[in-house]
C-alpha cells in the first residue's frame, strides 16, 4: 500500500487567512530551479521571482535592465521546482508603465509562459488603470510601495522612504487603494517601522516588509543577501543566515588545489 501525502498549495486565500489569524508570512526571492526547490522544501510560503535578478544574477547596478523575456526564463525554472509555495513574478521595468493594454499583455505572457501564480508591480495611483485591467483578467496582483527600485533615478538614493508626513500620507492612501482595487498583498520596502505597522493595521490584505520592521504581516529578503553570497551588501535591515561566500570560496579553493595536485579524482572516483 502506498502512502499518498498531498502537499497543500499556498493560495491568495491562504495568505489572507494567515493575516486574519496573525500567522506571519515567510517570503524569499528565487530565480532558478535548484534554489527554488530548496526554499520550497524548507516550507517557505511565498517565492518572488524578483527583478532583483537583474542585480544578483546578471550583475547590473539597478533592476531596470532586466527584460520580460529574461524574467520569464527565471520564473519558468522556479515554477518547475515549486510544489507548495505561492509564486509571484515581478513585472519588469518598461513592461507595464506605458499603458494598461501593454501591462495586461505582459502579465498574460508571464502567466501563460511561466505557470506563475501572480504578478507584482511597483506603484499606486499612477498605475491604477493597469492594475484594474490585470485583475479583471483574473490575474492576482501584488503591489509594491515605499522604496520602489524601478524608480531609483527619480529618488536618487536607496535610503529609507516616507519619513516625511506628505510621503507617508501618500503611501497610506496608495496602500488603501491597492487593497480596495483587489490586490492580494503589498510589499512595503524600506519605510519606518511605525508607518508600516499603521498601514498593516489599516488594510485587510497582507503587507510583506523588507526593511519595514516587525509590524508587517510577513517578511521578504533577497535570497543571495540572506545567504551571505554577496559580502559587500549589508544594509541595516539585512540578517545573514549563512556565510555562503566563505563556504563556496573554500570549496572552490580546495577543488582547484586538488585538481592541480592530482589528488582529484582518486581511484574510487574513477571508472
Ligand atoms: O525584486 C525583488 O527582489 C523585490 C523584493 C526586494 C521585494 O522586489
**What are 104-154's pLDDT values in tens digits?**
999 999 999 999 999 999 999 999 999 999 999 999 999 999 999 999 999
Kindly state whether residues 81 and 99 are assigned to the same domain.
yes
195 and 210 in a single domain? The answer is yes
Distance 33 CA to ligand 1 centre (A): 18
**In the chain, how many domains are there?**
2
Q: What is the pLDDT of residue 11?
A: 98
Residues 154 and 256 in one domain: no
Q: How far apart are CA 108 and CA 141, in angstroms?
A: 12
- 265 and 196 housed in the same domain: no
The tens digit of pLDDT for each residue in 41-60 reads: 999 999 999 999 999 999 99
Compute the distance from residue 267 Cα to the ligand 1 centre, in Å: 47
Q: Are 50 and 117 in contact (CB under 8 A)?
A: no
| C-alpha cell read off for 180 | 480596495
Q: How far apart are the first and last CA of the chain?
A: 38
Rounded Cα distance between 136 and 146, Å, is 25
Residues having CB closer than 6 A to ligand 1 are 29, 48, 50-52, 90, 187, 189, 210, 220, 222
- Asked if residue 123 and residue 50 are part of one domain, the reply reads yes
Ligand 1 atom with the smallest distance to the CA of 51 is 1
Q: Please tell me the distance between residue 88's alpha carbon and the centre of ligand 1 in angstroms.
A: 10
Based on the fold, state whether residues 85 and 175 are members of the same structural domain. Answer: yes
215 and 189 belong to one structural domain: yes
Residues 116 and 127 in one domain: yes
The predicted pLDDT at position 1 comes to: 45
- Three-state SS for 80? helix
The residue ranges of the chain whose pLDDT is under 50 are: 1-2
Exposure b/e, 115-138, CB count within 10 A at least 16 = b:
ebbbbbbbbbeebeebbebbbeee
Please give the positions annotated as active site: 189
Beta bridge partner(s), residue 125:
none
Its domain, for residue 37, covers 3-240
- Closest protein CA for atom 2 of ligand 1: 50
pTM for this model (two decimals): 0.96
* 214 and 234 part of one domain: yes
Q: Are residues 125 and 253 in the same domain?
A: no
Amino acid at each position: 500500500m502506498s502512502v499518498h501525502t498531498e502537499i497543500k498549495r499556498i493560495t491568495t486565500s491562504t495568505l489572507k487567512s494567515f493575516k486574519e489569524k496573525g500567522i506571519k508570512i515567510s517570503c524569499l526571492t528565487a530565480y532558478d530551479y535548484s534554489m527554488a526547490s530548496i526554499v520550497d522544501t524548507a516550507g517557505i510560503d511565498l517565492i518572488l521571482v524578483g527583478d532583483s535578478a537583474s542585480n544578483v544574477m546578471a550583475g547590473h547596478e539597478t533592476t531596470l535592465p532586466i527584460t520580460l523575456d529574461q524574467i520569464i526564463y527565471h520564473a519558468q525554472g522556479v515554477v518547475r521546482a515549486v510544489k507548495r509555495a505561492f509564486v509571484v513574478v515581478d513585472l519588469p521595468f518598461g513592461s507595464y508603465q506605458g499603458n494598461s493594454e501593454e501591462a495586461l499583455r505582459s502579465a498574460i505572457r508571464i502567466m501563460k509562459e511561466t505557470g506563475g501564480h501572480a504578478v507584482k508591480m511597483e506603484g499606486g495611483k499612477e498605475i491604477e488603470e493597469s492594475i484594474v485591467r490585470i485583475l479583471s483578467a483574473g490575474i492576482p496582483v501584488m503591489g509594491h510601495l515605499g522604496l520602489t527600485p524601478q524608480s531609483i533615478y527619480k529618488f536618487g538614493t536607496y535610503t529609507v522612504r516616507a519619513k516625511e508626513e506628505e510621503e507617508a500620507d501618500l503611501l497610506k492612501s496608495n496602500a488603501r487603494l491597492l487593497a480596495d482595487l483587489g490586490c492580494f498583498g503589498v510589499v512595503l520596502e524600506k519605510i519606518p517601522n511605525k508607518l508600516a505597522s499603521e498601514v498593516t493595521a489599516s488594510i485587510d490584505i497582507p503587507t510583506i516588509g523588507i526593511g519595514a520592521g516587525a509590524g508587517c504581516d510577513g517578511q521578504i529578503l533577497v535570497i543571495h543577501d540572506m545567504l551571505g553570497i554577496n559580502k559587500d551588501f549589508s544594509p541595516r535591515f539585512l540578517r545573514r543566515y549563512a556565510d555562503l561566500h566563505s563556504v563556496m570560496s573554500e570549496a572552490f579553493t580546495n577543488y582547484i588545489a586538488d585538481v592541480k595536485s592530482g589528488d582529484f579524482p582518486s581511484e574510487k572516483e574513477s571508472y
